[in-house]
Chains A and B, each alone.
Chain A
Amino acid sequence: MKLQDTKEVQTEFKPKILAFCCNWCAYAGADLAGVSRFQMPTDVRVIRVMCSGRVPPELIIRALANGLDGVMILGCHPGECHYSEGNYLTRRRSHVLKRLLMYIGIEPERFQLRWVSAAEAAKFTAVVKEITDKITALGPNRWVDKR
């Protein structure tokens, strides 16, 4: 299990990061960040789902296998899921997914799970900044080239 050399970072590297946001919490939090004009890095692309529990692990693997540098799921805080249990499923799947990513040789840090509520515009902004920095530091996703 050889992990990628994380020191190899290109100075001009701009990652491509996907964020699945649940309609009721994270997407609304992202909207509020926009309304509040919080500025943040431009590397994240949002896909809206009704519940974070909709995101199947295979889709995350596909995204990373296709060469996206980072994928995140943003959902409601545990206990606040609009569908009562969806985010618990997301949480459980994420634990297993991280192990699987390690097993097949993708840095597990390329996949992140965070909880952002509809009022947490500042948190959304902080999460985007934090994960963009993390993924940038990891460097480009070269897993596809190893196959």
Chain B
Amino acid sequence: MITPRIGVFVCNCGTNIGGTVDVPQVVEYAKNLPYVAHAESNLYTCSEEGISSIKHGIKEYDLNRVVVASCTPRTHQPLFRNACADAGLNPYLFEFVNIREHCSWIHRQNPGEATEKAKELVKMGVAKARWLDAQEEFKSEVYPTAMIIGGGVAGMSAALNLANQGFEVHLVEKEPELGGRLLKLNRIFPINQDPSELVGNIVKSVEGHSKIRLHMPAVVKSASGYIGNFDISVDEGGKEVSFKVGVIIVATGAQVLKPELYRYGELANVLTQLDLEQRLKDGELEEFKNVVMINCVGARIPERPYCSRVCCMTAIKNAALMKEINPQAKVYVLYRDLMTYGVEFEEYYREVKEAGVRFIRYTPSNLPQVMGAERVESVRIYDELMDMELELPCDLLVLATPLIANDDNEELSKMLKVPIGDGGFFLEAHIKLRPVEFPMDGIYVSGSCRWPADIRESIAQGYAAASEAVIPLRQGLVKVEAITATVDPKICKGCGTCVLVCPFDAIELKESEIRGLEGKIVSEVNTALCKGCGLCAAACPNGAIQQRGFTDTQLISMVNALSGKR
């Protein structure tokens, strides 16, 4: 191993550090530390002058390691790493010591102690730097194709967006036609239009697009690999079709709950909102005079605590439609909370009220009761706002039920190794800031398969997923910061602890192919998936797996530098 020649650059940061810490003293101290070939101070190491000093120092003093003692790596590490790279030094042979946020700024009344602390921190940084190794960032090529599972509006929007940017898209749809749940709807809110033509236009674009390869009807049979390199196998009408893709978007939608409440299935004139849409579409709705709609049927209950977001508007839309069809009809909507959020929905709600639809609020402690023998004849409800027990005559009872996860979500989740969350819906990487990404790189999610969403939200999510997915496609390369885990197969005992502990499924036990170790079961890290957390390194019983940049040797050297070695 080449003798380490460490350069230490101590920053004054104007007076931010220099005003409390005796920087010259720290520089002198650093000069006497093991393997330090050069030490100097700068007024502002991050300035052009400071960066030049580093580059100059590397060449002049033949440095092969650099330590900068200044502010925080969380803002300035890339700057100094780049400076090293520019001077021909591997950027991972650089170590950062924080003597500003963690020292001069918090010990202003104790300059003497702050100086001693700064010295010790530099000693620790130098100790670690001695054990740093040059690292290469892992780069993997990205196959310039995408697979989108689900041909509803979310999936189709994503497909068109990616295809229009020049990428090949495999669109896999399990039904024999595109359009998803929208095909079943009679009218969509809040524009009150028949969706067939609008959806039809999108379908035409998709079917006619030269870059979209449609697999329909087809289901995904297997998926393996990692971002940039997924191997997919699809069952297309009995035939097996295989292809490679760089990214995957899941847009498989949801289904509508068929309830076991309010005598649905028992009485003929009890429908779900979806049933109603079908009947209207097919022109098969019987005449009615008294419509009662009940919201939150099978939702916001202990077994299913969530609100399905789209049902209030669906009910209100259909209630208005009932009034349109028969202006003399009495239409009631029984609700718990009215989820008409935003601008258009709130406006729509007001207009529907003005059109004569009556809204009655009920609570879970006072559920409506369905009365009738062969058919629903009336609905009893306690109107708490009026303190009255009402019996509403009813010849058509429509239940708003929630969207629930598709039955094949679980199977798909196992196949793609993506997580399922509340209610069986897919679980995104971060509910606030990464709503359309899965925790595993290269796989994205959009639409109601993640959470009930209306058309506008589903399509926005489709585009958003396309936006995230196109990034690796456009970059053509996946680069990973070189702080990932590596295994020494000579030491590895194949116990599999690291495999269990890794939150990202980035480690696998495999038969080694290394000369002299053939057949030995050892761990192997998939660097493309490794996020550099280091949990494996801490769990390994014999130090076979290490995290680059945070190896046991490096951490121990810092501890020993502080405590003195025993």
Q: Which residues of A are in contact with B by a Cβ distance under 8 Å? A: 16, 18, 23, 27-28, 30-31, 33-35, 37-40, 42, 45-51, 53-56, 59, 62-63, 65-68, 82-86, 89, 93, 125, 144
Contacts and interface: CB of A to CB of B under 8 A. Distances in A.
B177 interface: no
Contacts, number: 126
Given A45-B117, A49-B534, A66 B483 contact: no
Given A42-B110, A83-B503, A83-B531, A66 B102 contact: no
Contact of B121 (A45, A56, A125): A45
B562 interface: yes
A125 B106 CA distance: 9
Main secondary structure of the interface of B (DSSP, over half): helix
A86 B533 contact: yes
Contacts of B560: 66
Interface stretch (B143-151, B238-246, B469-477, B547-555): B547-555
8 contacts: A16-B563, A23-B74, A30-B102, A33-B101, A34-B101, A48-B98, A67-B566, A68-B563
Contact of B106 (A27, A37, A45, A50): A37
Contacts of A37: 105-106, 108
A39 B109 contact: yes
A46 B547 CA distance: 19
B107 interface: yes
A64 to B, nearest CB: 9
Interface size class of B (residues with CB under 8 A): 35 or more
Nearest to A68: B563
Interface in B489-535: 501, 503-504, 531-535
A34 B100 contact: yes
Contacts of A30: 101-102
A51 B534 contact: yes
B204 interface: no
B555 A39 contact: no
Given A34-B102, A45-B124, A54 B547 contact: yes
Contacts of B114: 42
A20 B565 CA distance: 19
Nearest to A46: B102
B422 to A, nearest CB: 15
B396 to A, nearest CB: 46
B98 A50 contact: no
A144 B534 contact: no
B283 interface: no
A93 B538 CA distance: 10
Contacts of B532: 50
Contacts of A66: 559-560, 563-566
B464 interface: no
Given A47-B124, A65-B566, A83-B531, 16 more contacts: A16-B562, A31-B72, A31-B74, A34-B106, A39-B109, A42-B116, A46-B121, A47-B558, A56-B537, A56-B538, A63-B563, A68-B562, A68-B563, A82-B533, A85-B503, A89-B538
